[in-house]
């Protein structure tokens, strides 16, 4: 017995090493499962504050760019508004509930963003206090950005599209063929469009948009343009399509968050019929 | 190790950590070589510090970095491995007489060639562990290997620059 204890005492450094490594690997696994709750991340109040201070300084230098983007967007929204305004000699009728808005938008500031890993996340300066919930879609004027993962009082953490564990339901605009967009961990300006069958004619330059089949993004948000079409080497029944992202992930300052007000209803319907909802 | 040394090591690690978090987060030379300059704080800790406290320090440092970088567990795992191997490697790579009790394995103390042969393999192992965790299931073997190699090289250069600029030759810090 004493021998065993002596032996254990002699290898105590290795035992502690094994224990700490086990702890670290457990954290990696727990954090990387999309459904698993994250215990520690930058939505933490202290860390969020530090990151925000950094962003305050860094983003000061890109204020001009951010302003130009906002003005451009304002102009296009004004134009849309003029088109939609009711003419004096016409009346508007509330026809039925299908025309009711099912998506609500909120704006938020990006305080941290990473590009260099294979699992990239954004930290946003808006949290549960402002009505942000896990699962909301994130986009900006250029295109889609990601999906909210977890939320604290004032901050939230979102999966970036540049995160290999995020799948987004997409379609090719011209042919209405749908598939899923996923990043392969390589080039930060390109994603792959998966599950498009081989008989489909996809050409370089076609626009890829969100499909609206999932309950996260509304239909028609821009994802990017097709830059390369090949036959999938692993599974020849499908095409391997490379899409050039329209969003510049190195210059994110402000984003919009979108919430589907009917998410609960759609989600419970999916659950009833035992379908797994992809995002 | 006296209280003055303790304070200066604490300050050094704090400054390196801040530099790592504020400036080196999204920096990757050619999208390939990452700088893990905070490891300098662990590298030059004196050989008198035993494995267990060293591992605990490394674990905490890696964890703090992970929370900021949103890479939970990856830096932690790599830094713990780094701290476990450091005393072993130091013993294996030291001259037959061993180091003096108070000697710290920094550039000024052990010289250019020995510093590189001591630091580079450790940095490489750290980078390898980190990129294996990061690229699990996606990156090819050679992608991980080349990323690790160039990151270790870049980090080595950074640690050399920091030591040449800010450390006085005689006293370490």
**pLDDT tens-digit readout, B134-159:** 887 676 788 888 889 999 999 999 99
- The pair phi, psi for residue B50, each rounded to 5°, is -80, 170
First to last CA, chain B: 13
User: Which residue(s) pair with A210 in the sheet?
Assistant: A170
Q: What is the mean pLDDT of chain A?
A: 82
| pLDDT tier for residue B170 given thresholds of 50, 70 and 90 | low
pLDDT of residue B172: 46
- Greater pLDDT, A215 or A138: A138
Residue B76 scores a pLDDT above 60: yes
Cβ atoms A115, A102 nearer than 8 A: no
Give percent above pLDDT 70 in chain B.
Answer: 89
ipTM: 0.79
Six token digits for residue A117: 């890993």
Residue A226 scores a pLDDT above 90: yes
- Between chain A and chain B, the number of residue pairs with CB atoms below 8 A apart is 99
Cβ atoms B80, B122 nearer than 8 A: no
DSSP-based helix, strand, coil % in chain A, nearest 5: 30, 30, 40
Q: Which residues of B touch A50 (CB under 8 A)?
A: 21, 68
The alpha-carbon gap from A22 to the nearest alpha carbon of chain B, in Å, equals: 8
pLDDT of residue B153: 92
Q: What distance in Å separates the CA atoms of residue B36 and residue B29, rounded to the nearest whole number?
A: 12
Chain Cα centroid distance, residue A226:
19
Q: What tens digit of pLDDT does each residue of A180-221 get?
A: 999 988 888 899 998 888 888 888 899 999 987 777 888 888
Residue A245 scores a pLDDT above 90: yes
Mutate: best of A58, A117, A124, A146, partner B, most B CBs <10 A: A117
Measuring CA to CA, which residue among A146, A64, A161 is closest to residue A108? A146
Residue B173 scores a pLDDT above 50: no
Residue in A with minimal Cα distance to B87 = A13
Q: What distance in Å separates the CA atoms of residue A125 and residue A130, rounded to the nearest whole number?
A: 10
Q: What distance in Å separates the CA atoms of residue B155 and residue B39, rounded to the nearest whole number?
A: 8
Residue in B with minimal Cα distance to A120 = B70
């Amino acid at each position: 017995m004493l021998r065993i204890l002596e032996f254990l005492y002699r290898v105590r450094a290795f035992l502690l090493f094994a224990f700490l490594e086990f702890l670290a690997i457990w954290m990696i696994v727990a954090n990387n499962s999309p459904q698993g709750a994250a215990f520690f991340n930058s939505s933490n109040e202290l860390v969020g504050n530090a990151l925000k201070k950094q962003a305050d300084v860094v983003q000061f230098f890109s204020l001009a760019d951010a302003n130009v983007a906002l003005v451009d967007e304002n102009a296009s929204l004004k134009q849309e508004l003029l088109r939609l305004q009711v003419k004096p000699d016409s009346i508007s009728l509330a026809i039925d509930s299908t025309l009711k808005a099912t998506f609500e938008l909120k704006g938020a500031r990006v305080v941290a963003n990473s590009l260099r890993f294979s699992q990239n996340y954004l930290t946003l300066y808006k949290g549960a206090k402002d009505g942000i919930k896990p699962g909301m879609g994130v986009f900006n004027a250029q295109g889609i950005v990601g999906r909210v993962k977890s939320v604290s009082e004032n901050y939230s953490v979102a999966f970036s599209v540049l995160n290999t564990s995020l799948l987004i339901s997409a379609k090719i605009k011209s042919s209405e063929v749908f598939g899923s967009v996923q990043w392969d961990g390589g080039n930060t300006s390109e994603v792959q469009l998966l599950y498009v069958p081989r008989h489909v004619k996809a050409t370089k330059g076609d626009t890829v948009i969100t499909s609206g089949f999932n309950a996260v993004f509304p239909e028609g948000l821009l994802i990017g343009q097709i830059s390369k079409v090949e036959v999938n080497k692993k599974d020849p029944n499908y095409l391997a399509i490379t899409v050039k992202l329209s969003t510049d992930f190195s210059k994110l300052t402000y984003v919009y968050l979108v919430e589907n007000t009917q998410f609960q209803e759609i989600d419970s319907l999916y659950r009833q019929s035992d379908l797994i909802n992809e995002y | 190790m006296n209280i003055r040394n303790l304070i200066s090591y604490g300050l050094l690690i704090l400054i390196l950590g801040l530099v790592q978090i504020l400036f080196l987060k999204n920096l990757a030379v050619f999208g390939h070589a990452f700088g893990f300059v905070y490891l300098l704080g662990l590298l030059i800790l004196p050989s008198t510090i035993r494995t267990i406290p060293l591992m605990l320090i490394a674990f905490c440092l890696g964890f703090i970095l992970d929370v900021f970088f949103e890479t939970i567990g990856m830096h932690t795992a790599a830094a713990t491995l780094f701290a476990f191997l450091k005393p072993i490697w130091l013993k294996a790579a030291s001259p037959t007489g061993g180091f003096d009790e108070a000697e710290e394995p920094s550039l000024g103390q052990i010289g250019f060639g020995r510093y590189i042969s001591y630091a580079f393999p450790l940095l490489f192992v750290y980078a390898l562990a980190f990129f294996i965790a990061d690229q699990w299931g996606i990156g090819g073997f050679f992608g991980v290997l080349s990323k690790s190699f160039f990151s270790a090289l870049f980090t080595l250069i950074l640690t050399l620059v920091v030591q040449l600029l800010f450390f006085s030759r005689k006293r370490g810090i």
